[in-house]
Structure 1
């Protein structure tokens, strides 16, 4: 059981690294796209980078956390703990 958790944790870390890289790439692409339509201002760049990066990381990170919870066995533990015993 512990090996499942360790494997799930390493996969989660790998997924989060890819998600972070994707967030950086998408934020850079958004800045490039904005630069096509006029001059970039500091507040626009900071707001766009923060908004795009955080949206990607939070959105994808929540999905990755849900997959981690299932793969590591945490969901099974909660289901077993909250299941009522049938009175016999």
Structure 2
């Protein structure tokens, strides 16, 4: 039988998700800053080239950074709330 997770408590879950979305907001700002900086460097190095290169670079950098932040944030959310410890592990000999 699964054990209790802090995410089962609605108030604590609301707190944990608010913290997650606050971190994601900061990461979105950091991503926007990184994209603008890198596009500036690309313009300085290569000058005026196809707009498609700048669009592809912005989308690639932005998507990669935001996806990484989202997945790592979920890992920390799961671990920090005790959700990882609440799973039912059939292979654990000490499991009830």
The bucket for the TM-score relative to the shorter chain is 0.7 to 0.9
More helix by share: 1
Q: TM-score, normalised by structure 1?
A: 0.81
Which fold has the larger relative contact order, with Cα–Cα distance below 8 Å and residues 6 or more apart in sequence? 2
1:85 Cα deviation after fit: 6.3
Structure 2 residues without counterparts, runs of 5 or longer: 1-5
Moved over 3 A (4+): 83-86
How many residues end up aligned between the 2 structures?
A: 84
Q: RMSD between aligned alpha carbons? A: 1.7
1:82 aligns with one of 82, 89, 92: 89
The separation in 1 between residues aligned to 2:75 and 2:20, in whole angstroms, is 10
